[in-house]
């Protein structure tokens, strides 16, 4: 694990992307890791693109140019595809494989690419790609949004993030409302099994 890490986070409005990003930043701070975070672009309304950066390990400003992100955390697969310009050469992607189509697709104006197409493109540009059905698994744990925590936990278990799942558990109990504890802690527990099911952990 490397404490000096540039992370690009992306998703869509209404799915809890910024909450997950804030949880990531606060977990790092709890572990004594300097954090600089900022919103690249955000749409408050449901379905709008949400992008943010979390820079760990002593960066001066929350700025991330194209080709600089060591890691992308994508809470929606199409947004992972759109976020590829930010990824550095040899970068890593942890992303949802559960589509949340934008309004243009829902209205029939545009077509949503297949997951096979998305996966092939992501693997073409990233050194490592981990795709997990986080919305499906979150729903199984009592909250679709808790799948975002599963994605963070997966990144911890894969040694991408510089802290443990135990630290993430503590952050959930410290910073999230008590009514959200059960589903999010269940998603953390589910992360290891999900990685094994997808062949990412032995």
The mean pLDDT value for 22-39 works out to 93
- The pLDDT tens digits for 59-99 are 988 889 999 999 999 999 999 999 999 999 999 999 999 99
- The pLDDT tens digits for 108-164 are 657 889 999 999 999 999 999 999 999 999 999 999 999 999 999 999 999 999 999
Return the CATH number of the domain spanning residue range 5-99+110-197. 3.40.920.10
> Which residue did the predictor score with more confidence, 147 or 13?
147
pLDDT greater than 60 at residue 47: no
Share of the chain above pLDDT 70, in %: 91
Tell me the whole-structure pTM to 2 decimals: 0.92
Q: Which of 16, 22, 27 is nearest to 75 (CA)?
A: 16
Q: Which of 6-20, 133-147, 174-188 has the lowest mean pLDDT?
A: 6-20
């Amino acid at each position: 694990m490397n404490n000096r890490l540039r992370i690009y986070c992306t998703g869509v409005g209404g799915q809890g992307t910024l909450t997950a990003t804030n949880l990531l930043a606060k977990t790092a701070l709890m572990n004594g890791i300097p954090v600089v975070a900022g919103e690249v672009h955000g749409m408050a309304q449901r379905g709008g693109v949400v992008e943010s950066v979390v820079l760990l390990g002593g960066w001066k400003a929350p700025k991330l140019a194209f080709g600089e992100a060591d890691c992308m955390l994508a809470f929606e697969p199409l947004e992972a595809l759109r976020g590829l310009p930010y990824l550095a050469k040899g970068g890593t992607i942890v992303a949802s494989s559960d589509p949340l189509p934008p309004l243009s697709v829902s209205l029939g104006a545009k077509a949503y690419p297949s997951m096979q197409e998305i996966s092939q493109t992501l693997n073409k540009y990233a050194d490592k790609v981990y795709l997990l059905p986080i919305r499906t698994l979150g729903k199984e744990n009592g909250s679709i949004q808790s799948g975002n925590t599963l994605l963070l936990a997966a990144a911890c278990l894969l040694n991408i993030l510089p802290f443990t799942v135990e630290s993430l558990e503590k952050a959930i109990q410290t910073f999230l409302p008590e009514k959200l504890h059960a589903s999010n802690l269940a998603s953390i527990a589910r992360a290891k099994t999900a990685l094994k099911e997808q062949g990412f952990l032995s």
